[in-house]
Amino acid sequence: MTINIEEMATFCRKKGFVFPNSEIYGGLSGFFDFGPLGVEVNNKIKQTWWKRFVQDRDDIVGIDGSIVSSQKIWQASGHVDSFSDVLIECKKCHSRQRADHLLEEQHNLNVEGKSLDYFNAIVKEKGLKCPKCQSEEFGECSQFNLMFKTFVGPKEDEESVAYLRGETAQIIFTNFKNVLDTTRVKLPFGIAQIGKAFRNEISPREFLFRVREFEQMEIEFFTHPGKADDCPYIKDFLKVEMNVFTAENQENNQEQQKMSVADLLKLNINKWQAYWLVQEYLWFTEDLGINPENLRVREHTKDELAFYAKACFDLDYNFPMGWKEIYGNADRGKFDLTQHQEHSGKKMEYFDEETQEKVVPVVASEPSQGVERAFLSLMFDSYHDDKERGNVVLKLPPKVSPFFCVVLPLVKNKENITQKAKEVYQQIKTCYSCYYDQAASVGRRYARADEIGVNYCITVDFDTLEDDCVTIRDRDSTKQERIKISELNNKLFSLYFS
C-alpha cells in the first residue's frame, strides 16, 4: 500500500472505477457513481458474497426489500428518535462537523456512546480547531438525525412521511413472518439481503468510506432463544487464527494479538456469532484475496455497545488513515422482532415442533458490511506500484477483477492478425469476462491491462497464423505460455479456479 485516500480517489476516477456524482454541476458531497470498471468489480463482490452465503447454503434465504418504507417501521426500530450523530458548528465559518471525528483526529479520543453533556464538557476542556478556517470557537454540541425523510403521494403532511431506509436490517425483520409463512425454513436460519441504504452524514469524508448513499450486504441469523451456542459447525474452525483487538486490550492501551477461534470463544461472544465472524473473515481472505495481516477483529467496549446488543465485533482493515471498520457482527437478541411485534400488533413468533412451544427467535448473529468499504479495502490491498515495470499493477483476484482476460492482436494494421484475434475473442467472451484491445503498442496494452487488474493477456501474433497458438501472459508474474487455441477455454478454466 503506497498511496493515500485522496490518491486512491484520483486513481479510481482516472481509470473509470468511481466518479464523483453530479460532477459537471460541481458534485454532491457523499455521493459517488461507479464507472464501467467499478460496476464490474462491485457486482462481482456482491456475486461472490451471495453465492458463498446464500446459494451455497441450506440455512439462508434471501429477500430484496424496498428502499422507501413506512415511517412506522423506523419509529418502532428507534431510528426516528435516536439514529443520530453529535453535531458541532464553527461560530466563524459556520461549517458543521461530527464532534466525535474531530475529537478522534485532534486528541485521539474514542467517544463513541458518550452523552451530549460529555461531548460539551470534553470540547470545552480539550478545545478543537475548525478544519476549514482553523477557528477555535464552536457552539454547543447537538444531536443530528441521520434519516432521509420523504413524502409519499401528492400531499406533504405528517401522514405522508416515509423514510429512505437507514439500514437493510429492518426490512428483514418486518418480512420475518412472510419468510416463515412462504418457505420451509427451520431454526436456526438466516435471511440475507443486498441493497442500498441512506444516511444523511454530517460530514462525509475519506472517499467511499463515509458516504450518504451506500450498499449493504447483510444477514440476520435467527436461533431459538436458548440455543445461540448450539452451533455444530464451529468445531471445524477452532484453529483459524486472526488478529484480535479485545476490549481489554483497548482499555489497557495494549496491542492487538494473534488469537485462535478457540480462544476467541473465551470472550463475550456466542458460538453462532463467532462462526459467522470467521466465515466473513474467510470470505475477505479467500474470495477477495485480502492480506490477513491487514485485517483484525475488534471487540466493542461496553461504552460503545448499542443498547440492544449483547456483544459486537468488527472486522477492521488497515487503511492509510488507520484501522477502520469494514464489517460488523452484533448479537442483537430479540430486540427487533419484539419491537415490531409490539408496535404492529402482529405476532413474530416461531412454532418449535421439537418443544411444542411458540417463541420469538433471537438474532444470535448479524453479519453486516458495506459493499463500498469492501471495494475500498480490495483496491488498497491490490494496488502495487511496480517500479520495475514502470506502471501500477492492480492484483485483483479472478473472481472480482473487472475483466479476467483481454485479447490483443500483436499489430492492428494486418487484417489477418486482427481477424484471427477477433475469432479468439468471440470464442471465449461468452465464458469469461474479457475485452478486445488493438490500440497502441502491445507493451502499452500490457501496462493498461495491469493497471485495471486484468488477470491474463492473450496475444495473437504472426506465429498464430502458422501454429494456431496464442500467448497467455500472467499479470502478476509476467510469465508467458504458448497454447493451442483449441485448448484455450480449458486452460482459462484451470487458471480461473487455480
- Mean pLDDT for 258-285 is 98
Give 354's pLDDT tier (boundaries 50, 70, 90): confident
Give dist(CA 103, CA 91) in Å, integer: 17
**Is the pLDDT assigned to residue 1 strictly greater than 80?**
no
Q: 194 with 46: CB under 8 angstroms?
A: yes
- Mean pLDDT for 216-241 is 97
- pLDDT at residue 366, as a whole number: 98
- pLDDT at residue 175, as a whole number: 98
Give 72's pLDDT tier (boundaries 50, 70, 90): very high
Q: 111 with 104: CB under 8 angstroms?
A: yes
- pLDDT at residue 457, as a whole number: 98
**Is the pLDDT assigned to residue 73 strictly greater than 80?**
yes
| Cα distances (Å, whole numbers) of residue 162 to 76, 145, 291, 339, 342 | 13, 15, 42, 19, 20
> Is this prediction's pTM over 0.85?
yes
For CA atoms 37, 39, 41, 44, the dihedral sign is negative
| Cα distances (Å, whole numbers) of residue 271 to 192, 197, 217, 231 | 19, 29, 21, 6
Exposure on the CB side of residue 301, measured as CA atoms within 13 A: 15
In tens, the pLDDT along 17-28 reads 999 999 999 999
Q: Cell numbers at residue 298, please?
A: 475488534
- pLDDT at residue 412, as a whole number: 94
* Rounded percentage of the chain residues whose pLDDT exceeds 70: 100
**Is the pLDDT assigned to residue 54 strictly greater than 60?**
yes
- pLDDT at residue 184, as a whole number: 87
Give dist(CA 364, CA 84) in Å, integer: 25
Give dist(CA 353, CA 323) in Å, integer: 46
- pLDDT at residue 2, as a whole number: 75
Q: 135 with 129: CB under 8 angstroms?
A: yes
Angle at 31 between CA 28 and CA 36, to 5 degrees: 115
Q: Cell numbers at residue 437, please?
A: 484491445
Give 355's pLDDT tier (boundaries 50, 70, 90): confident
**Is the pLDDT assigned to residue 173 strictly greater than 90?**
yes
How many CB atoms lie under 10 A from the CB of residue 390?
Answer: 8
From 428, 431, 410, 406, select the one nearest 419 (Cα to Cα): 410
Q: What is the largest CA-CA distance in the chain?
A: 80
- Mean pLDDT for 179-184 is 94
Give dist(CA 340, CA 374) in Å, integer: 31
Give 114's pLDDT tier (boundaries 50, 70, 90): confident
188 preceded by cis ω (within 30°)? yes
In tens, the pLDDT along 286-316 reads 999 999 999 999 999 998 888 888 999 999 9
Mean pLDDT of the chain: 96
- pLDDT at residue 113, as a whole number: 79
Question: In the 3-class helix/strand/coil scheme, how is the chain assigned residue by residue?
Answer: CCCCHHHHHHHHHHHCCEEECCHHHCCCCCCEEECHHHHHHHHHHHHHHHHHHHHCCCCEEECCCCCEEEHHHHHHHCHHHHCEEEEEEECCCCCEEEHHHHHHHHHCCCCCCCCHHHHHHHHHHHCCCCCCCCCCCECCCEEEECCEEEECCCCCCHHHEEEECCCCHHHHHHCHHHHHHHCCCCCCEEEEEEEEEECCCCCCECCCCECCEEEEEEEEEEECCCCCCCCCCHHHHCCCEEEEECHHHHHCCCCCEEEEHHHHCCCCCCHHHHHHHHHHHHHHHHHCCCCHHHEEEEECCHHHCCCCCCEEEEEEEEECCEEEEEEEEEECECHHHHHHHHHHCCCCCEEECCCCEEECCEEEEEEEEEHHHHHHHHHHHHEEEECCCCEEEECCCCCCCCCCEEEEECCCCCHHHHHHHHHHHHHHCCCCCEEECCCCCHHHHHHHHHHHCCCEEEEECCCHHHHCEEEEEECCCCCEEEEEHHHHHHHHHHHHHC
In tens, the pLDDT along 461-474 reads 999 999 999 999 99
